[in-house]
Amino acid sequence: MNILLTNDDGIHSTGINVAYDALSVHHTVFVIAPEAEQSACSNAITVRTQLNIKKISQNKYSVSGFPADCVIIGLSGNLIPDVELVVSGINHGPNVGDDLFFSGTVAGARTANIFGKSALAISINCYKRASKYVNDASEFLLDFIDEQVHDTIERAENTGGQISGGPSVKPFFNINYPDLPPEQIKGRKYTFLGRRIYRDSFKNTALSSGELNVQMGGYIESVFSVGSDSTELEKGFISITPLVLDCTNYAFLKNNIRD
């Protein structure tokens, strides 16, 4: 299978390069990733300036833009062959619950799904460093793609994109891997999105002419909810959340809209 690999940590991050080595065992992998870290950029794209693309090595390219730019270039820029799957990660830092709206990692996978490709994002529950268990996470990633994603893609192709009677959609997963050795991981669980509460604060530095410089700080709390991605990840499970693009509030439509 041809796979496009991207991230928001940048082309030189440990996670994406370990993932490349692992996935290349069974698949043809192409890396198109930001030239510098773009964490928390969400689904930003570059539309008013030119993007610079550099060939780093065989099958690896850096882009002077965001993860979504990288995916769009990979899918539409005639730079690489057509791919069956887009993988975003391995990210250093979890992406659970409401993080998905801000995450550049998840945005890479989401952009691929918007353009009709199967996609997954994968992160490790560590902060400000590469996890000691990134190799274990990459082996899990390879197994998950070979065991689960490949079959799901084939079923979607055979049914015109329709899976188990649901809407026409290609598979889209968000995976969070515990920052734990394999013997301490309790297994894998399919989960739903949890809730995150952002306790933001700002450090202000006064400048002349009535200007301020501000630096965001603070912390994040996860709301405990059995079966959610954040809760099960903290319990030591690999969290796998199936996602869709449709944000429509169907309950509102059902209860409030009358013909």
Report which DSSP code applies to 248: -
Report which DSSP code applies to 12: T
Give the residue extent of every domain in the chain: 2-194+224-256
Cβ contact 69:75 at 8 Å: no
- The per-residue pLDDT for 161 is 53
- The per-residue pLDDT for 259 is 63
Give CA–CA dist 3/83, Å, rounded: 5
Arithmetic mean of pLDDT, 178-188: 97
- Domain spanning 2-194+224-256: CATH superfamily: Survival protein SurE-like phosphatase/nucleotidase (3.40.1210.10)
pLDDT band, residue 172 (cuts 50/70/90)? very high
Give CA–CA dist 20/156, Å, rounded: 25
CA dihedral for 126, 66, 99, 117, sign (positive or negative): negative
Helix or strand (DSSP H, E) at 113: helix 104-114
How large a percentage of the chain has pLDDT more than 70? 95
In this structure, of 90-94, 156-160, 183-187, 250-254, the range with the lowest mean pLDDT score is 156-160
| Residue of higher predicted confidence among 10 and 216 | 10
Cβ contact 239:121 at 8 Å: no
Beta bridge partners of 199: 219
Report which DSSP code applies to 128: S
Query: What mean pLDDT value characterizes the chain?
Result: 92
Cβ contact 188:224 at 8 Å: no
Cβ contact 91:121 at 8 Å: yes
Give 45-80 pLDDT, tens digit per residue: 999 999 999 999 999 999 999 999 999 999 999 999
pLDDT band, residue 181 (cuts 50/70/90)? very high
239 Cα distance to chain centroid: 13
Going by their DSSP bridges, the two strands 187-190 and 237-242 should be labelled as parallel
Give CA–CA dist 61/242, Å, rounded: 29
